[in-house]
Structure 1
Amino acid sequence: MMKLLLTFCLLIGVLLNTSAQVSENIKITNDNYLRTNSIVYFRLKPKGGTGNIYLLDKNKQKYPVQFLKDGFACTIMSLRPGEVKNFKVIKLREAGAKAEISLTAAEAKFTLNGKQVIGLQTGKKDLPAGVDSVFRRGGYIFPILSPSGLSVADDYPLNHKHHHGIWAAWTKTEFEGRHPDFWNMGNKTGTVLFEGIKNTAAGAVFASSESKNAYYDKSITPNKKVLDEDWQIKVYNLKGTNKPYYLFDLELRQRLSTSSPLRLPEYIYGGIGFRGNGEWNGKDNAYFLTSEGKDRTNGHATTSNWVHISGKVTGKLTGITILSHPDNFRSPQPMRIHPTEPFFCYAPPQAGGFEITPGKEYVARYRFIVYDGEPDRKFIKSMWDDYAHPLISK
């Protein structure tokens, strides 16, 4: 009878057990950077499936894991400079919260815990009243929402109908003797079209999409494709932040569609752009702060590693920080800061002309932080350091 009771208790213990250790142990050693909610990369091969995998530290704190390509996985954690942490790899029976992505004809919607963070527009939504169809385009990020649900961006503003949340385009160009303008679409010489979403992923650490855009020269009949552009967007599933914020990455890659180079002469703007909320119109309604301590009055045509743009929406202060990766072309990149409108652009052509040539990609990477309230320079600097020098444990 005692043996039977012991067997029953052991069986109940197995059934109640919510985790099982996977064979690997992981050691993560930080360098000299303070890392807050850092995306940490390490080698880990999936065994018995990729779902519900966590790192477990000595204090029984669990860190969700998401698998990547090439034998790597990632998690999100905070680390002090020089800190070393050891983990067991465990598999839980119950799944935790995930970053999600859902697709409609008009939008790829990224959500965390049921709340939308951003959307990727496909060009299928109805145009606002007063906007001609020549301005229609997709392949840009809108809406962009703060943790309290405030919108930090605008789309098709009537004074600049070609501005769209976060978007990319080139303005002054030379291509086969013509001058297509992919930015000012009202000129009808160039346009950017959304071609589709290739891959999506949803997981405990991030949700992502890979999509394609195409740049067309409209100054010739038939219209000629000039560039193929790939976008990768990742929205991260942050937890336990003292001040709530959203974090997402954009990587864009451009390559020629023909053997003809695309020349980009020196110009004031062109590259990656941001258009702020309509309530931020007017020189006193949007606030700019750069990594070099400059603002709207003296920041235009200077360079920066990051810029924070903010303003009030329904009386509440909110904003977005744009981090420019140090590997970007001409980093730290020059900026276009508009004197009266909530418009910003990282604009490599400001520093002189260059070319996109056959067989060589143009690559640009940016990280975005969205939160309510005043910008914190110390926090932003720490986030840029972490982005610029990612922790990759090999």
Structure 2
Amino acid sequence: MKTNTYSTPLLVLGLLWAVFPASAQLIARYTVQAGPTDRNNCIVHTRLNTPADASTLVMEEVAGKKRVPVNVSVADGEVWWVLSGHTPAGTKRFYELKKGSLKTTTTALMHITDKNGALILQEGARQILQYNYATVEPPAGSDTVYRRSAFIHPLWAPNGAVLTNAFPNAGHLHHMGIWNPWTHTLFEGRETDFWNVQKKEGKVRFVKMETVTSGSVWCGFNASQEHVAFLKNGTEKTAINEIWKVRAYAATHQGQRRCWDLSSVFSCAGDSAVTLLQYRYGGGFGLRTTPAFTAKTSEVLTSEGKTRKNADSTRARWVKITGTTPQGKAGLLIMNAPTNYDSPEPLRVWPENMEGGELMLNYSPTKMKSWKMTNGNVYTLVYRVMVYDGDITPQEAEEAWKDFAFPPVVTKE
């Protein structure tokens, strides 16, 4: 990990293979209730009330006399694991978490590589996504105003296909893979656009890396970002402070599906309020897809049965994009949390005749109404993305959203 750019606390949690010795200390017994819906490889987590050295923690699933080792990660005071396989609605599963003097073999299955100003989240050698913390230059000959940091690109499908695009063309050099700047805002009496940087009103920048975490269940990072307003006198002022929390989980379904989470936690940078004005796009979750996804080679489907022809300005719990890539068919499912502002969030979806049929999609929580942020309050938007090879059915998409929006209940004995 580089140290000349920023200081990063690194927590490495590995895969643990061990047999519990008689002296192993029981920390907790957990019961996981599936609830009213079937679960498939569902991510679960709960508070870990007893401080413990993560390198000595091991978990087993208890099914009668049978005990099965379970990969476990600990971070931010929580313990994480996967409810592996299929868990029918209404059923329960039981787990024990222990620590002790164990002989283990440790590897960082889910880990992060710091390379050329970017963090690359990986499962083994397979790349998941890249967060660009250093400033990335636009194409040669472009205005330097398009320089940008604090965005995700590339995002890879399990088959290795790149699903995003950055600096796509002369007309939309401000489109940056996955990003979330607010477009139409009111800050200190002036309308400020943090998205369309060519207007030179503002932009989003990386500030520092807060944490970087690797482990057996997930890897991820917390990055501090700022929305900076450019004032008329030639100075600048930070309007919004933001933390991006990104977690990527181990692949399932023989490696053909993978989920990762993006949480945006933001607040006013100073005493001045910021009003995120009602507008047709901006903020939330912005996506410019690979140029391989066009109106002829890809399909859009929302939770409400809308397609690219009629999804714009409609609400959706989830939106699925599947298309053809050089590596084969692949796609991504984007889910918004029911706790998000004005959820299910409205969508901005480009019509099919935009730029040769290429696709830009934005979950925009302020598409229908404004949102005023005041000093001293913290605001959060949470999204989950599933990337997949081939395609998934609408039923599978709905089940994935339920896992995300209403996870199983974990209780401790």
Selected match of 1:93 from 79, 104, 115: 104
Report the CA distance shift for 1:246/1:137 in structure 2 as closer, same or farther (over 3 A): same
Deviation string 1:81-107 (CA, Å, 9 cap, x unpaired) is 222223343556123552101223410
**Matched-pair contact (CA < 8 Å) for 1:153–1:275:** yes
Distance 2:182 2:326 in 1: 33
- Structure 2 matches for 1:360-371, cutoff 5 A? 360-371=377-388
Pair 1:56–1:178, CA change in 2 (3 A): same
Using the alignment, how far apart are the partners of 1:176 and 1:48 within structure 2? 48
SS of the residue 2:198 aligns to: helix
- Offset, 1:151: 0.6
Amino acid at match of 1:85: R
**Cα distance, 1:354–1:89 mapped onto 2, change above 3 Å:** closer
- Within-5 A mapping of 1:203-282: 203-220=215-232, 221-239=234-252, 241-242=253-254, 244-271=256-283, 272-281=285-294
The 2-side partners of 1:48 and 1:102 are apart by 24
Question: Do the aligned partners of 2:61 and 2:93 also contact (CA within 8 Å) in 1?
Answer: no
Inter-partner Cα distance in structure 1 for 2:18 and 2:378: 50
**What does residue 73 of structure 1 align with?**
79
Separation (CA, whole Å) in 1 of partners of 2:51 and 2:61: 16
CA contact (8 A) 2:32 2:409 kept: no
Question: Contact conserved, 1:52 with 1:95, CA < 8 A, in 2?
Answer: no
How far did 1:379 drift?
1.1
Structure 1, residues 202-228: CA drift from partner, whole Å, max 9, x if none?
Answer: 111111101011111113321111111
Distance change (3 Å), C-alpha of 1:89 and 1:298: same
Count of residues in Structure 1 that have an aligned counterpart in Structure 2: 376
Identity, % of aligned positions = 27
Q: 2:339 aligns with which of 320, 327, 334?
A: 327
Question: Is the deviation greater in 263-272 or in 122-131?
Answer: 122-131
Q: Distance in 1 between matches of 2:47 and 2:275?
A: 41
Matched, 1:166 2:178: yes
Q: Which residue of 2 aligns with 1:34?
A: 38
| RMSD, aligned α-carbons | 2.1
Q: Which segment is superposed worse, 125-134 or 16-25?
A: 16-25
Per the TM alignment, residue 130 of structure 1 is displaced from its structure 2 partner at its CA by 4.1
Q: Distance in 1 between the 2:54 and 2:162 partners?
A: 38
Shift of 1:41: 2.0
Aligned counterpart, 1:12: none
Q: Does the residue aligned with 1:193 lie in a helix, a strand or coil?
A: strand
| Contact 1:52/1:93 (8 A) holds in 2 | no
Task: State how 1:1-394 maps to structure 2 within 5 Å.
Answer: 18-20=19-21, 21-24=24-27, 26-30=29-33, 31-44=35-48, 45=50, 47=52, 49-51=54-56, 53-58=58-63, 59-70=66-77, 72-78=78-84, 79-89=87-97, 93-95=104-106, 98-158=109-169, 159-220=171-232, 221-239=234-252, 241-242=253-254, 244-271=256-283, 272-281=285-294, 283-314=295-326, 316-339=328-351, 340=354, 341-394=358-411
User: Given that residues 277 and 369 in structure 2 are in contact (C-alpha distance below 8 angstroms), is that contact kept between their aligned partners in structure 1?
Assistant: yes
Look up the SS of the partner of 1:382 in the other structure.
helix
Higher mean alpha-carbon deviation, 121-130 vs 44-53, is at 44-53
Contact 1:105 1:124 in 2 (8 A): no
* Aligned 8 A contact 1:52 1:64 in 2: no
Structure label with greater radius of gyration: 1
**1:383 aligned partner, one-letter code:** A
Instruction: Say which SS state the counterpart of residue 190 (structure 2) adopts.
Output: coil
Counterpart AA for 2:44: V
For residue 308 of structure 1, report the CA deviation from its aligned partner.
0.8
Distance 1:245 1:131, change over 3 A: farther
SS in 2 for 1:226: strand
Per mean C-alpha deviation after superposition, the further-off stretch among 296-305 and 230-239 is: 230-239
TM-score relative to the length of structure 1: 0.89
More deviation, 78-87/297-306: 78-87
Deviation at 1:33, TM superposition (A): 2.1
Superposition deviation, residue 329 in structure 1: 0.2
CA distance in 1, matches of 2:29, 2:174: 48
- The answer (yes or no) to whether the contact 2:302–2:316 under 8 Å persists in 1 is yes
User: TM-score, normalised on structure 2?
Assistant: 0.85
Comparing 197-206 with 90-99, greater Cα deviation is found at 90-99
> 1:43: Cα distance to partner?
4.8
Unaligned regions of 5+ residues in structure 1, if any?
A: 1-15
CA 1:353–1:69: 2 relative to 1, 3 Å: closer
Query: Counterparts of 2:310 and 2:333 in 1: how far apart (Å)?
Result: 18
Partner of 1:9: none
